[in-house]
Amino acid sequence: MVCNQASDGVRPMKIMTRYVLSEMLQVFLVALTALTLFMLVIGLAKEAQQQGLGLLQILAMVPYVLPDAMRFAVPGTMLFAVASVFGRLSSSNEIVALKAAGVTPLAVIWPVAGLAIAVSFACVWLNDIAVSWGRDGVRDVVVRSLEEIIYSRLQQQRSYSTQQLAINVKGVEDRRLIRPTMSFQPADGSPAVTLSAMEAELETDAKAGSLTAICRNGTVRVGDVEVAFPDTIERVIPLDVINKRSLTERSPSEIAMADFPVARAEHQADIDRLEQQIAGRLATALLTGQLPLTTPPHSTAERSRIEWNQSRLNRIAMEPWRRWANGFSCVAFVLVGAPMAIRMRNADFLTSFFLCFLPILLVYYPVFMAGVSQAKSGDLPPIAVWGGNLLITLWGLWLLRGVIRQ
């Protein structure tokens, strides 16, 4: 008899749990699809405008831009789904009915929190691949399409430039560049190369990863040396020099989490090398009696480089914490969104969403950004970026306590 009563009580709860999760997934997936498509269009339009891409290049970029769009869309759509579902449940008195039956509202909130935890892990993964694999993929598409991109930009604006390459022309006729001037800065620190010609053509080799400039009747300047050529010369420019960067050149926000140990070791090794240089110069100056060389101005360059490396180390230490905090904001949003939607009892999903989002906008994001800023500068440990998550979670638990006691 007791077993039958227990099973009779458990069965409705399973049905209710499945119903809530089903509603959550439906709203979440529909909203996520709509918002992701919206952000995807914005991201692709931005890349197309900046790089001068055509339709085929834009379509090739979709898989690489998609994670970047989703990592921003997931937390917001999770909050939207929670506010919509629990606002509707509360307004139709289903939460009141659960309490009247002696069932705590936690029975329908915890399954949703479990879903949010699973989504949070996926969101952390999206935060990682979006800034590493995704942005590298976008660069690869640009590299493969660089010849068309350069010609398109030169036809429209008569100029094209990156950090290492600059091209200016008087005009473009088919594939011929009229009166081009090309400046190329090698990555190894050697003197810049400037080519001026009556006409030129560009060819790319995607397999070799190079851009070849075929110039006719012009001059080439390397540093302070200038040489004229009446015939044809070819200049091969590695595409990876134009588009790819090493770990020490990348922003820490673009480094994959798996590469952080390598990046950290590289910067620490550079700091050790610079400190040894300073110590060696100081020892030599003391031994030779050149005391003016021991003053701080003589080690300004090394100390500036050490400060730059230390700043990079602070950001590298902070970045994994930031990505995990961004991902697990889904859980914090659920814990604060569910009790707020229940307390407001508003069936209008937009009203419920904006009322739940307002405190997150006013509290969570300012605290989160302050933690990121302080962790970057080294004034606070990297865990400070979790301050916003912690504050919102505690607030949500306090609201949840009030919902249970009502």
Question: By the 8 A CB rule, do 206 and 219 touch?
Answer: no
What's the CA gap between 20 and 95, in Å, rounded? 12
The per-residue pLDDT for range 232-258, each reduced to its tens digit, is: 888 887 765 455 556 666 788 888 888
pTM of the model: 0.78
Q: Which amino acid is at 284?
A: T
Query: What HEC string does the chain produce?
Result: CHHHHHHHHHHHHHHHHHHHHHHHHHHHHHHHHHHHHHHHHHHHHHHHHHHCCCHHHHHHHHHHHHHHHHHHHHHHHHHHHHHHHHHHHHHCCHHHHHHHCCCCCHHHHHHHHHHHHHHHHHHHHHHHHHHHHHHHHHHHHHHHCHHHHHHHHHHHHCEEECCCEEEECCEEECCEEECCEEEECCCCCCCCEEEEEEEEEEEEECCCCEEEEEEEEEEEEECCEEEEEEEEEEEEEEHHHHHCCCCCCCCHHHCCHHHHHHHHHHHHHHHHHHHHHHHHHHHHHHHHCCHHHHCHHHHHHHHHHHHHHHHHHHHHHHHHHHHHHHHCHHHHHHHHHHHHHHHHCCCCHHHHHHHHHHHHHHHHHHHHHHHHHHHHHCCCCHHHHHHHHHHHHHHHHHHHHHHHHC
Q: What angle do CA 383, 389, 390 make, to 5 degrees?
A: 75
Contacts of 98 (CB under 8 A, 6+ apart): 16, 104, 105, 107, 108
* 85-91 average pLDDT score: 88
Please give the residue that has the higher pLDDT: either 335 or 101. Answer: 335
Is the pLDDT assigned to residue 329 strictly greater than 90?
yes
pLDDT at 4: 45
- C-alpha dist (Å) from residue 246 to 249, 292, 305, 346: 5, 37, 17, 52
Q: Which amino acid is at 400?
A: L
Is the pLDDT assigned to residue 82 strictly greater than 90?
yes
Contacts of 390 (CB under 8 A, 6+ apart): none
Question: pLDDT confidence of 208, banded at 50, 70, 90?
Answer: low
The per-residue pLDDT for range 29-43, each reduced to its tens digit, is: 999 999 999 999 988
Closest of 393, 291, 378, 360 to residue 79, by C-alpha: 360
What's the CA gap between 246 and 255, in Å, rounded? 10
pLDDT at 372: 92
* 308-335 average pLDDT score: 93
pLDDT at 5: 40
In this predicted structure, which of 75-79, 114-118, 230-234, 261-265 has the lowest mean pLDDT? Answer: 230-234
In this predicted structure, which of 161-175, 250-264, 276-290 has the lowest mean pLDDT? Answer: 276-290
> How many CB atoms are located within 10 Å of the residue 139 CB?
17
Question: pLDDT confidence of 299, banded at 50, 70, 90?
Answer: confident
What's the CA gap between 394 and 387, in Å, rounded? 11
Residue with tokens 């039958």: 4
pLDDT at 226: 85
When the pLDDT of each residue in the chain is averaged and rounded to a whole number, the result is 84
